[in-house]
Chains A and B, each alone.
Chain A
Amino acid sequence: MSTFYSEEAANRRNSVLLAILVVTVLGVFGFVIGYAIGYANGDPVLWAIGAVAIAVAFGLLSALGSYYGGDQLVLASSHAQEIQPQQAPQLFNVVGEMATAAGVPMPKVYIIDDPSPNAFATGRDPQHSSIAVTTGLLQKMNREELQGVIGHEMSHVRNYDIRFTLIVGVLVGSIALLAQLFLRYTFWFGGGRRNNDSNSGGGGLAILFLVIGVVLAILAPIFTALVQMAVSRQREYLADASSVELTRNPHGLESALAKLASDGESLHSANGATQHLYIVNPLKKLGGGSSLFSTHPPIVDRINRLRQLTGDSPMDPAEVRQLTGLE
C-alpha cells in the first residue's frame, strides 16, 4: 500500500530524471557535433555551444508561440464550445469544487460535442487555464467519477504539465533539428576534412567524431522521442495521484477509468498533436495500443496503481479481459 504523496514524489522524480536524460543527450550530441565540425575548422567547444544554442533557439521560438497561443489553437481545433454555469450546472460545480480543493482560480469550462467520453486541460499556468469535456463523458459518468476525471485534468494544470512537456518537447525538437543540420553538413561538406591540411595528425580523430556524430544523428532523435513519451506517461501517473490528493477518493477515478477503458470509440476531433492532453488516449487502436510510443500508460496499470492507494489487490486476468474485451 502506498500514499498519493509517495506516488506523486516518485512520478515527479522520474519525469525530472527523464528530462535530465534528454538534456544530457543534447549536451553529448552537441559536443560530438562540435568536435566533428570544429576539429578541422576551429575551436570545437565553440562550435558545439554554437550548434546547440542555434537549435535550442529555433525550438524556443516555436515553443513560445505554442506557450502563449497554444490553448486557443487546441480548443478551436477540438471544436470546443465555452459554456456558462447555467448551461451545465453540475459540471461547473464539480470544476469549482476541484478548484477550491486545489487552491487555484476557476478555469474556463468547455464542452465538446462528441459521444466518445474524454476530457482535456490546457493552459500555461493556473491563472490561464481551460478544461474541456465531451458530451459523451457527461452522459456516462456519475458525479463521483466526473470529480475524479476533473481532478486529474485540474492536476495537469496545477503541476504545470503543459509547461513541462513543452520544455521537454523543445529539447527533443532541438535534437532532431541538430541531427538534420548535421547530416546535411556531412553530406554537403564531407566533414570539412578538406579545409584543414595542417592538422593531419588529428585527421583520424576528426573522422571518428564524424562517424559517432552520424550515428547519434540517426539514433538520438528516435531515442529522445521515446524518452519524451515516457515523460508524458509519468506525468499521467502524477495527474492520477494528484487527483486522489484532491478528491481523497481513489474509487471515483478508478471507476471512471474502467468505464473509459471499455469504450472503444475514437474522438473525432483529436489528432497526433493533441492526444497527450486527454485523460485517455483519444486515438484508440485495436488491442489497447500501449507501448513505448504511447503518451498514456495502459489503463490497467493506472487502475492498479489507484488500487494500491486503498490497499486493494490489482486486477486479475479475468477482470482485465472483461475490461478491455480482449482474449
Chain B
Amino acid sequence: MSEWEAVIGLEVHCELRTATKLFCGCRNAFGDEPNTNVCPVCLGLPGSLPVLNAAAVDYAMRIGSALHCEIRPSIFHRKNYFYPDMPKDYQISQYDEPINVDGRLELPDGSLVQIVRAHLEEDTGKTSHMGGGGRIHDAAHALVDYNRAGVPLVEIVSAPDIRSAAQARAYAAELRAILVATGASDGRMEEGSMRVDANVSVRRVGDTAFGTRCEVKNLNSLRSLGRAIEYEIERQIALLEAGDTVVQQTRHWDEGKGQTVALRSKEEAFDYRYFPEPDLVPLAPDAAWQARVAAALGPMPAERRRRVGALFGEEAATGARADQIATVTEHGLDELVLAATEAGVDPALALARTANEASADAERARQLAPDAYVALLKMEQGGALSATQAKAVLAELLAEGGDPAEIAKAKGFEALETDSLAGVVADVVAACPDEWSRYAGGEDKLAQFFIGQVMKATQGKANGKAVVEELRRLRG
C-alpha cells in the first residue's frame, strides 16, 4: 500500500493597523472599553452607509505587492448570514473580483506556495457568553462588543500547495514576518490580529485528485496550527484506512484536548447569497497610487535574511546561525546587525547580541538609535565591557535610552586597568595554589575557574579574555 500525502491550504485573516476602521472614522484599537469605538456606520444603524478607508486600501496593496500579486480593479460584495456580532447581518467583503490575485510566497527552505488571492473585508464584533456554564450552548446570556466590528482585514488565501504541518507552520511564520515588514500588521496571533484557518485533506502519494477536505478553525498560535494539522492528518488517514470516508465539515481545534471537533457539515453550511455591495463604488487604484505603494515598501524578510546571511557565507544556512538570522529578521532588527557589522563589529557578536538579547525586547529595540547600539557592541568587543556587563547596559539602554558609555559608568562598569587586573589575578593565583599548579601543568580548562574567581573579586568588571592572557603570561 502506498504512502499518504497531506494537502493543505491556509486562509489567513490579518487585521490592518489603520488608525480608523474600514468604513467609518471610529478608532481601530485592541483592548478598549467595550462598545466605545462605535458609531452609526459600524453599528449598522438604519440609514448609515459605508465609506472606504484609503489607508486600508494602501495596506492591502502593500501586502499584495509583497506577495508578488497582481493588483487589480476590484469590487465589494455582501456576504449574507445572521450572526449577533455582525451588526448588519452581512459582511462587506470581496468575492470574485478581489484587489490582489495570483501571488506567491517563498519559504526559507526555498519551497514556493502560490497565493490565490488577498482581499479586503471588515471584521465582526466579539461575543462573550456569560452565566450558566459560560460556553455557547449553556450560557445564560451573551454580551457583544462591537469595537472590532468594521476593523479592516485582509484575507490571504493560499493554494493547496502545502504538504505537511511543518511546512504550514513555516508558511504562517513567513507570512507573519512579511505582514509585519509591510507595516500592515503587528502579527499577534494571541490577540487575534492574525488568525489562521487550515483546509486539510489527505490522498495517496501519486494521486492527483484531492481528497475530501475539512476546515480547521481556532488556531491561535503557530504551535496550535502545527498540532491541529498533525491531528487532522492522522484522523483522516485513520478514517480512510478503516474504510470510512472523510465528511466535508468545519472543525474546531480544542487546544486543551488536543483534538479537532466537528462544528458543522457541508449540508449545514450557510448559503451566503453574495451580491455586489450597492453602497460602495468599484475600487480602481490608479498606476500612480500603486507605484507609490511599491516604492514605499522596504525589503521583505527573504531578502533581508540574505543580506544578513551574506556576512556568514556557508555557515548562514545551518543550525543556530540560521535560527539567529531568522530571529533578527522576524523581529525587524536585521538593520541593527548590518549597521554594527558595517561599523566594524564582529558579525558573530552583532548577531548574537541582537538575536539573543535585543530580540527579547524587540518593540524597544526597533526604536534604538543604531549609533548607540554600535557603540555598546564596540565597548564589548574592545574589552571595555564584559559580556555580562554589556547585556546589563543593553537592558538599560532599551528601557531608558541614553549613552552606553555613561550607562556603563553609572553602573560602575569601568574596565579594570591592565595593571590592577594583573594585581587581582596575582592575588587569586596566590589564594588557590592547587588549582594554579594544575593549570601550570597544562590543564587549560582551569582557566574558566580562574576567570570565575577574578569575576567574583571584581564584581564582574574584568574582561574574560584579558584574564586568560594574564594567566598565560604568568604561566610563561
A joins B in a complex? no
B-side residues, CB < 8 A to A, are: none
